[in-house]
Chains A and B, each alone.
Chain A
Amino acid sequence: MRTASLPVYLVMVQKELLELVRSFKLLWVPLVFVLLGIMQPVSIYYMPLLLESAGNLPDGTVIDIPMPLGSEVLAQTLRQFGTLGMLILALASMGVVSGERNSGAASLILVKPVSTLSYIGSKWTSMLLLTWGSLSAGYLASWYYTGLLIGEVAPGEVLGSLLAYGLWLSFATTMTLLFGTMLRSPAAAAFSSLGLSAALSLLSGLFPKQLGWNPGALSGYAYQLAADGVRNPDKLWWAVSATALLIALALAASAALLGRSPAVD
């Protein structure tokens, strides 16, 4: 059985990707990220113009907003991804396990010689591909427009912050998958994972010294990487390792949970 599990896993990943295509998730999720990414530099560039045309300012008002640095705009883009983007990803991935379990489709798959780890793993792989694809598309679009309208940013900074932020979103997606396996209701799963992510970010913001190693700190490091470099790189590596470890644990826990009760009808 061990020898056969890799091809089976690949077949399942193919199926998940086909589902992403047929459900148009592969279209609209990256599209939202691209729109979010473009909006940030464009709205900053046109801010004075917008204010002027708002019309309720007295004649002769001088609007003088200092143009931010390109790297600052990129950091702001990441903040957009952290709110709206993360919500979209949670919505897209909240039902991938619980939906199939509730309908009974999962039990039809799990009676076949398939391990629960392949099942969870295939869903995780496809959701991660969606996450990284969308984030990269959105961030690169933002980078391009920032370069055009505001100012060049070095590719190194972009890449570093993209990787850190991608890891953070991967963590959030994995948590959605874990909660989606644990809970029957997809909405509850999305809510739990968003809540957990918000709580972790908040905690690492409040106690950066003590909790700087937790996954929630990754978003902060990503902003720093984009804007002006990380202040304490040691903690960043701690956070990266902790996140990777937690993702692995969450996957193992999801597979074990699913193995205990493959179907819930």
Chain B
Amino acid sequence: MTALLQVKGLAKSFGAVHAVKGLDFAIEEGRCVALLGPNGAGKTTTIRMITGLLKPTEGQLRFSGTGSSGDERRLIGYLPQSPAFYNWMTGFEYAVYAGRLCGLPAKAARERAKELMALVGLSGAAERRIGGYSGGMKQRLGLAQALMHRPKLLVMDEPVSALDPLGRREVLELLRELKRETTMLFSTHVLHDAEELCDDVIIIRDGQIALQGRVAAIRAEHRSPVIELRLERDAASERWLQSCETHFGDAAGEPAGAGLIQAIHVQDGSVRFTVREVDAARQLLLERLAKDRIKLTRLEVGHSSLEDLFMKVVTA
């Protein structure tokens, strides 16, 4: 596979604030990549540098296939977080205008606009002024105008964050269809969207890459067994729960249980153990519970989700 976009050492500072501190990643042709991270991690700054709206302080972006024109903006279709149009134009006029700015002749632009307005489900509203559009309609128009020139890379900044559940569904469905045709990069702080749609994720935190790779690989690699205990809420159990970390912190040090329990997370009335091996850990826990005469209400064995991993990575 060839990398459509190669990013090396990309950094941006605003005065003393280092918003992005050296990102390295590549986007391969035909894949859907999510740029994931909490608010303020530098997602929007990164996206804006890729689209050319911001000049990087350091680092470089290399697009393959820029050809002789040398203007990489031709390769990109961009949908900002909340796209702003000209409210006095109709949706159709805006799409045509966007196409003509990318060098399409008038007739081709009109045909392409008609086609895309139908694709994004705006045919009925095409002749209405954008001023009267809803948030979801604007987002869909934003997609249509970004696709006018058949960009190789569709870049989107939080494409669904500002939408209600219904609008969100619609846009996600659309993106799923578009995935077949173009390479996509979008930023989001919602893990679920990334998981549902993407092949690759890049998790950034404080302007640095915390984790990147294929969703499936990350899931397989970082999946670890989890044992969750729920106890009755009497005084003895509460005490046991509170002292849990010291108990099993020790246990981890014992030769038999060395490294067996990797993490302990106490939440009111329950505790989650991230373990290396389920059987041994379960045995250890049950013995301990029996010995301390703790009233157990539930014991559940499962796996950590991508959500847990995300939380771990971004709060670490």
Give residues in A with beta carbon < 8 Å to B: 1, 4, 7-8, 11-12, 15, 18-19, 22-23, 103-105, 107-114, 260-263
Describe B's contact surface by its main secondary structure.
loop
- Given A104-B83, A112-B73, 8 more A-B residue pairs with CB atoms under 8 Å apart are A12-B101, A18-B89, A104-B82, A104-B84, A111-B73, A113-B73, A113-B74, A260-B55
The chain B residue sitting closest to A105, CB to CB, is: B84
Tell whether A262 pairs with B53 under 8 Å between CB atoms, given A8-B100, A108-B84, A108-B145: yes
Closest to A21 in B: B88
Enumerate the 7 nearest inter-chain pairs by beta-carbon distance, A residue then B residue, closest first.
A104-B84, A103-B84, A105-B84, A111-B78, A22-B88, A112-B101, A11-B100
B215 at interface by CB-CB < 8 Å: no
Q: What residues make up the interface of B, taking CB atoms closer than 8 Å to A?
A: 51-55, 69-71, 73-74, 76, 78, 80, 82-86, 88-89, 97-98, 100-103, 142, 145, 149
| Chain A hits for B51, CB < 8 A | 111
Residue of B nearest to A107 (CB): B53
Residues on B with C-beta less than 8 A from A23 are: 88
Set of chain B residues within 8 Å of A104, measured between Cβ atoms: 80, 82-84
Shortest distance from the beta carbon of A116 to any chain B beta carbon, whole Å: 12
B80/A108 in contact, CB under 8 A: yes
Residues of B within 8 A of A111 (CB): 51-53, 73, 76, 78
Q: A112-B102, A114-B101 are in contact. Are A1 and B69 (CB under 8 A)?
A: yes
Query: Can you pick out 9 interface pairs between chain A and chain B where the beta carbons lie within 8 Å of each other?
Result: A7-B103, A15-B97, A19-B88, A105-B84, A105-B86, A110-B53, A111-B51, A111-B78, A113-B69
Residues of chain A with a CB closer than 8 A to B76's CB: 111
Asked if A11 and B71 sit within 8 Å, CB to CB, the answer is no
Residues of B within 8 A of A11 (CB): 97, 100-101
**Nearest Cβ distance between residue A43 and chain B, in whole angstroms?**
37
A109, B88: Cβ atoms closer than 8 Å: no
Whether the Cβ atoms of B69 and A108 lie closer than 8 Å is no
Bound CA span A146–B69, Å: 57
Which residues of the partner chain A approach B86 to less than 8 Å between Cβ atoms?
15, 19, 105
Contacts of B55 in A (CB 8 A): 260
- Distance between Cα atoms of A23 and B88 in the complex (Å): 8
Contacts of B103 in A (CB 8 A): 4, 7-8, 113
**A109 CA / B142 CA spacing, docked (Å):** 12
CB-based nearest B residue for A2: B69
Taking CB as reference atom, which chain B residue is nearest A103? B84
* A113 and B88 form a contact (CB under 8 A): no
The residue that A108 contacts in the complex, of B83, B102, B149, with Cβ under 8 A, is B83
**Contact (Cβ within 8 A) B85 A113:** no
Among A103, A109, A112: residue with most chain B CB under 10 A: A112
The answer for the CA separation of A238 and B161 in the assembled complex, in Å, is 58
**Chain B residue contacts of A260, Cβ below 8 A:** 55
- Which residue on A lies nearest to B145, using beta carbons? A108
Given known pairs A108-B80, A108-B85, A111-B76, the reply for A1 and B71 (CB within 8 Å) is yes
| B54 CB → nearest A CB, Å | 8
Q: Closest chain A residue to B76 by CB distance? A: A111
Determine how close the nearest CB of chain B comes to the CB of A255; give it in whole angstroms: 15
Contact in complex: A1, B70 (CB < 8 Å): yes
A263: B residues at CB distance < 8 A: 53
Cα A103 to Cα B51 in complex, Å, equals 18
Contact partners of B85 in chain A: CB under 8 A:
105, 108
**With A and B bound together, what is the CA distance between A212 and B52 in angstroms?**
44
How many Å from the CB of A47 to the closest CB on chain B? 43
**Residues of chain A lying within 8 A (CB to CB) of residue B53:** 107, 110-111, 262-263
Q: Which of chain B's residues have a CB closer than 8 A to the CB of A105?
A: 84-86
Looking at the assembled complex, report how far the CB atom of A111 sits from the nearest CB atom of chain B, in whole angstroms.
Answer: 4
Which chain A residues border B78 with CB–CB below 8 Å? 108, 111
Q: Give the complex CA separation of A22 and B98 in angstroms.
A: 19
> Which residues does chain B contribute within 8 Å of A103, judged by CB atoms?
84
